[in-house]
Chains A and B, each alone.
Chain A
């Protein structure tokens, strides 16, 4: 997929664990793992908003477009 999810990069910058982030944004660790590994087909705006709020970043910091 040409959309790359950089949640793990932002998590490393904010020194936050997967468990902590999952709890704060209100999703399961399994779903966070799907998001991190790029298996997710879609991201809800509410989830994106929560991630940006918790990680104090912009959607562009999390999502990146790279040509295949």
Chain B
């Protein structure tokens, strides 16, 4: 049972790492593209670049914290510590971290698509504003589903912990 769980967790972790690195880069790129479109001549002020980088760091903090929480959860399960309060907070952090990362990322890239949709040449091929959202949901939808699933599992764990406590206190 543990072998299966470890295999599935490592698979999920690898996919998250690849996806996180991929979409994270795209997020920074998209934000800089948007800023370039705002300033004439393509020169972006240094302050904007710094803010973008700080935002990216802020997002990566949540993503890395989510990864670490997930790894610690796997380690705890391997040590036979399953229904403990620590796992509950770890799973909640995994879910919250990934959810915040993806939602903020979508919000950051959203203006880029609005600017793109105002471009008549691109608009010829359809509504890029909506296309952007659609592409985002394809790219990040799985992560958001994974994050929500983690939060659901965390709530199931909360019920499990309560039942375990009651079981332990049944004489």
Contacts and interface: CB of A to CB of B under 8 A. Distances in A.
Interaction A to B: yes
B49 to A, nearest CB: 58
Interface string B154-171: 000000000001100111
Interface residues of B, dominant DSSP: mixed
A10 interface: no
Nearest to A28: B171
Interface of A: 27, 31-32, 34-35, 39-44, 47
A35 B169 CA distance: 9
Interface in B77-126: none
A45 to B, nearest CB: 11
Given A27-B171, A40-B171, A41-B165, 15 more contacts: A31-B171, A32-B171, A34-B169, A34-B171, A39-B169, A40-B170, A41-B166, A41-B169, A41-B170, A42-B169, A42-B170, A42-B171, A44-B170, A44-B171, A47-B171
A40 B171 CA distance: 7
14 contacts: A27-B171, A31-B171, A34-B169, A34-B171, A35-B171, A39-B169, A40-B169, A40-B170, A40-B171, A41-B166, A41-B169, A42-B166, A43-B170, A44-B170
